[in-house]
Amino acid sequence: MIQVLWLQSGGCGGCSMSLLCADTGDFPARLRAAGVQLLWHPSLSLASGHELTALLDDCLQGRQRVDVLCIEGALLRGPNGSGRFHLLAGTGLPMTQWVSRLAGVARHVVAVGSCAAWGGVSATGSNPTDACGLQYDDDRPGGLLGAAFRARGGLPVVNVAGCPTHPGWVLDTLSALAADALTAADLDPLNRPRSYADQLVHHGCTRNEYYEFKASAEQPSDLGCMMENMGCKGTQAHADCNTRLWNGQGSCTRGGYACISCTEPGFQDPGHAYHQTPKLAGIPIGLPTDMPKAWFVALASLAKSATPRRVKANAAADHVVVPPAVKRTRLK
């Protein structure tokens, strides 16, 4: 059973809210089954005030083992590097200082959500609070702890990125750490667990037939592929949202919303409205991650010329207007 200390830094708490929506009727039992014992969590623990500060002191002094330090929310380094935009209540000390010290005694450090991983929404725009991630500042290694940081267990910060994170990503990561089964080889180049980051949101998308024929939605209520006109980045975003569904049945694209690539650094500042697709000479700038532009142009042209009437009609409608044809045939 691993001892997990979870602290909230500069963020909205959405990753905790998502975790509490895990697909189970008995969340404490789910944690126990994952091999997790919470030392403290801002939403789940009764201890507060001096009780929490006493626990943190025990952790720093070695009287309480910390197997995993989970940080949710960005680290606010301002103003002028003092960290005083965010003080841990009752201590007078910046959260950045507490996190740095606790990271030094934890066996593993986990960034829960894109704010803790890269800075995320907390670092958007001019970033007046100088928000950053634990080990990344946007897509640049560094952050609060520095690029060379390694926890006592030998791993860098494990970035469970997402805005918010899927409960399964968090629980699977903690389960792997509890089983001592998460190694450097199990992390992708941005130190995200490969268990979800080696997938694309595009995989399993219910709109894939429309994507294959480049039959595109023209407005939010349409059934067609949202890549060409509606800003969808599902072919670029690393996550398994359409195969590991949210609450057992949903995802952004299944709900009619374009994927904004919330597991990636910089998603919060795309340089355009989320519901728009930037184009160059009529071609989306953001193409599938592993497809050369010339190939995409050629295949898209061929696919559009071969689009069945049914697919073309349904793509620009909010319901199926032409059902699949029924043929009398023998399966061979």
Give me 249's structure tokens: 């049945």
> In the chain, what are the domains?
2-197 (3.40.50.700), 199-322 (4.10.480.10)
Pairing of strands 108-112, 140-141: unpaired
E-assigned strand segments in the chain: 2-8, 36-40, 68-72, 75-76, 108-112, 131-132, 136-137, 140-141, 158-160, 279-280, 283-284
User: Tens of pLDDT along the chain (332 residues)?
Assistant: 999 999 999 999 999 999 998 888 788 888 898 899 999 999 999 999 999 999 999 999 999 999 999 999 999 999 999 999 999 998 999 999 999 999 999 999 999 999 999 999 999 999 999 999 999 999 999 999 999 999 999 999 999 999 999 999 999 999 999 999 999 999 999 999 999 999 999 999 999 999 999 999 999 999 999 999 999 999 999 999 999 999 888 999 999 999 999 999 999 999 999 999 988 877 788 878 877 777 777 888 888 888 999 999 999 999 999 999 887 777 66
Residue 303 has what pLDDT?
Answer: 86
- pLDDT for res 296: 78
Task: Identify which of 204, 199, 273 has the alpha carbon closest to the alpha carbon of residue 237.
Answer: 199
Note the pLDDT of residue 331: 63
pLDDT given for residue 233 in this prediction:
95
**How far apart are alpha carbons 187 and 110 in whole angstroms?**
12
Which residues have a Cβ under 8 Å from the Cβ of 136 and sit 6 or more positions away?
A: 117, 118, 119, 142, 143, 159, 190, 265
Q: Regarding beta strands 136-137 and 140-141, do their DSSP bridges make them parallel or antiparallel, or are they unpaired?
A: antiparallel
List Cβ neighbours of 323 (8 Å cut-off, separation of 6 or more).
310
Main-chain dihedrals φ then ψ at residue 310, nearest 5 degrees: -60, -50
DSSP codes, 45-61? ----THHHHHHHHHHHH
| pLDDT at residue 283, rounded to an integer | 78
Please count the residues of the chain: 332
Q: Tokens 């592993």 sit at which residue?
A: 290
**Three-state secondary structure call for residue 198:** coil
pTM above 0.85, yes or no: yes
Q: Say what the pLDDT of residue 24 is.
A: 80
